[in-house]
């Protein structure tokens, strides 16, 4: 039985490890329901959850990432008041911090569609449509995940990344997700080779629009796009 209902929770500003532990708890709970259903021939519905949050300064390295893409040593991390974690998502290194909207969908894709490629494109599309709501034209770059802005010759700006993505999926249950730079401190990206990409810049909604945005408002727009794309029912 497919369950299209979703519970959405705003965790506010939360330590990365605390949010990661919470994700793991939700993820494991859903996986256990699926295993029990299969073993005992049951049809208990699996839950869907989307977490919205921000993190204090932190750098995270995915399974396919390289340690040398972090350009700070332990002393440098302390000076920046930042933490560093090696984590179990895909992708390379990225930064999270205040002013960045982080979204963690813990979904059972059996409730929607069993296609990870499609899932990633839907996450990207939710961001693209959210940005369009604010008058920012964004899209994709071949060979890279995430959401990008095209070259702007009038402002002498090349292609630049505004949203990073990295997910984990097992038994069609997802965790981790996306990070949209709303009002993020972009100087913090200077301490990494962001997503392992050396020749492209990083930007934010604030930098593109020249004004600070209400991150809670952006979260509500994003929430609506995700619900619409996945044809969810909010509970």
- Lowest average pLDDT, out of 69-73, 87-91, 105-109, goes to 87-91
The residue ranking higher by pLDDT, 152 or 120, is: 120
Rounded Cα gap, residues 203 and 27, in angstroms: 31
Residue with tokens 């991150």: 215
What is the pairing mode between strands 49-54 and 58-61?
unpaired
| Core vs surface per residue 62-81: b (16+ CB within 10 A) or e | beebeeebbebeeeebeeee
Binding-site residues for substrate: 89-96, 164-166, 177-179
User: What's residue 197's pLDDT?
Assistant: 52
Q: Where are the domains positioned within the chain? A: 5-229
What pLDDT, on a 0 to 100 scale, did the predictor assign at position 194? 61
Q: Report residue 115's pLDDT band, with 50, 70 and 90 as the boundaries.
A: very high
Residue 154 in this model has a pLDDT that exceeds 90:
no
Q: Please give the structure tokens belonging to residue 235.
A: 């509970």
From CA 143, how far away is CA 154, in angstroms rounded? 26
pTM, two decimal places? 0.92
Rounded-to-integer distance, Cα 183 and Cα 206, Å: 5
Q: Domain 5-229 falls in which CATH fold?
A: BirA Bifunctional Protein; domain 2 (3.30.930)
Q: Give the ranges where the chain is alpha helix by DSSP (H).
A: 16-40, 74-79, 116-133, 205-209, 215-230
pLDDT at 18 over 90: yes
Residues assigned a catalytic role = 195
Confidence of residue 68 (pLDDT cuts 50, 70, 90): confident
């Amino acid at each position: 039985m497919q369950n299209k209902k979703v519970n959405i929770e705003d965790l506010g500003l939360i330590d990365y490890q605390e949010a990661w532990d919470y994700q793991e708890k939700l993820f494991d709970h859903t996986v256990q329901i699926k295993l029990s259903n299969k073993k005992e021939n049951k049809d208990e519905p699996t839950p869907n959850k989307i977490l919205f949050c921000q993190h204090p300064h932190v750098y995270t390295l995915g399974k396919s990432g390289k340690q040398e893409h972090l350009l700070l040593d332990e002393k440098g991390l302390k000076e920046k008041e930042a933490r560093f974690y090696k984590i179990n998502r895909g992708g390379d290194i990225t930064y999270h911090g205040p002013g960045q909207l982080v979204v963690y969908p813990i979904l059972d894709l059996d409730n929607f569609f069993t296609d990870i490629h499609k899932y990633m494109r839907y996450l990207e599309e939710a961001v693209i449509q959210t940005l369009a709501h604010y008058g920012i034209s964004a899209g994709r770059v071949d060979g890279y995940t995430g959401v990008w802005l095209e070259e702007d010759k009038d402002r002498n700006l090349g292609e630049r990344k505004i949203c990073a993505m990295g997910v984990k999926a097992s038994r069609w249950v997802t965790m981790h997700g996306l990070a949209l730079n709303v009002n993020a401190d972009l100087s913090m990206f200077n301490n990494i080779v962001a997503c392992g990409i050396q020749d492209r810049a990083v930007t934010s909604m604030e930098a593109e629009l020249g004004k600070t945005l209400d991150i809670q408002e952006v979260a509500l727009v994003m929430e609506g796009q995700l619900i619409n794309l996945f044809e969810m029912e909010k509970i």
